[in-house]
Structure 1
């Protein structure tokens, strides 16, 4: 498990570095990350439910790698939240929340009166998020232990959902999206930010995401390339189709 985490961390850092997204000090991590990739194989698993495509091994390493300076600006996370209509009083789900990088930003945005569900299948990450929320004073973050095909969110409870660099790791993506659909309030939006790839290389072609979302009962309403602007990352917004 530690080996897989090291390899996944290495791949993440290499992709960020090659796209120009890491600040200069972060390149100090690059050599160690590359070494981890050489030593460890992080092979893809195969989804056998409704997709039958490779998926990436879930990341289990330190969440500190997602906290590098300037990430807000490079991902234009405020614009992402604007496009998802995240504002005061709204309820947001961060699926694949990691260490809570997006959850705390959403929690700040939805004050007063709003709530953020930080969803993870890794209970250690949930402990990290809970500790962070207490330390930083976000009493409107609720951690949720999800499953690979179910975020375990209350029915009709959420205005907006974001999967940030997570979708390529989801073992049962169609089931996850179907259950996410049940958790949406009328008019709710689902955002997916990822990078183009094969599924097993910590990325997934956007056309595959759109196809799977359609199977799950969603339609694409907007598509953007402004996140990192490297022609690799994309930001897709979906809404539920009429039943």
Structure 2
């Protein structure tokens, strides 16, 4: 069953841009209650790969766990962690192909630490994908004061060893940044 959020951000379009494929190891950092990127990614990477669904809220993870069981996703692993604490996410360092932050950065207080944690988890050449709300007044989404400009995120990413590969509109209300780990 597809998530209604596909109308706002289509994960498959982003997966196509980054070349998500069978056997990859990915993490959705701040995965949220619905697993908007978790389950589509799990379908693509199949049994040879793994999707780590990471969140700080245990009740969110219970929803993901329940859906994983119900729908037979054996390649989804639930991880309870604070992504703002570098070195604390219990995923092997330098083991991931992709880390996703989807509609998360506007909520993260320690954005640099979250990007450093993603960088720590990535293999060399791996990708960090940030999808978040565009900073526009009077649109859907969070209060504009809570939003971060994507140029600031680009600067933060570069400061922790990431190189911006793409910056594009991910829909009417979202931007997408794709970074490569150097």
**TM range, normalised to the smaller chain?**
0.7 to 0.9
Within-5 A mapping of 1:21-36 = none
The CA deviation at 1:202 is 4.4
Q: Which residue of 2 aligns with 1:140?
A: 75
Which of these residues, 43, 47, 50, is aligned with residue 108 of structure 1? Answer: 43
Match of 1:234 among 160, 175, 178: 175
Specify which structure has the higher proportion of strand.
2
Gaps of 5+ in 2: 137-142
TM-score w.r.t. structure 2 length?
A: 0.86
Please identify the structure whose Cα radius of gyration is greater.
1
Quote the Cα distance in structure 2 between the aligned partners of 1:117 and 1:132. Answer: 14
2:6 is aligned with 1:72? yes
Unpaired stretches in structure 1, ≥5 consecutive residues: 1-65
Q: Is residue 169 from structure 1 mapped to residue 110 from structure 2 by the alignment?
A: no
Contact 2:123 2:181 in 1 (8 A): no
- Which residue number in structure 2 is paired with residue 125 of structure 1? 60
CA RMSD in angstroms comes to 2.0
- Could you tell me which residue of structure 2 aligns to residue 97 of structure 1? 31
CA distance in 2, matches of 1:105, 1:120: 17
Deviations 1:81-109, CA, capped at 9 Å, x for gaps: 11222110001110110122211111011
Query: Could you tell me how far apart the structure 1 residues matched to 2:147 and 2:109 are?
Result: 13
Asked whether the 8 Å contact 2:27–2:52 carries over to 1, the reply is: yes
Within 1, Cα distance between the matches of 2:77 and 2:20? 17
- Counterpart CA distance in 2 for 1:158 and 1:146 is 16
Structure 1 CA distance for aligned equivalents of residues 14 and 21 of structure 2 = 12
Matching residue within 115, 124, 149 for 2:85: 149
Q: Which is richer in helix?
A: 1
What TM-score results when the alignment is normalised by the length of structure 1? 0.65
Counterpart in 2 of 1:204? Answer: 148
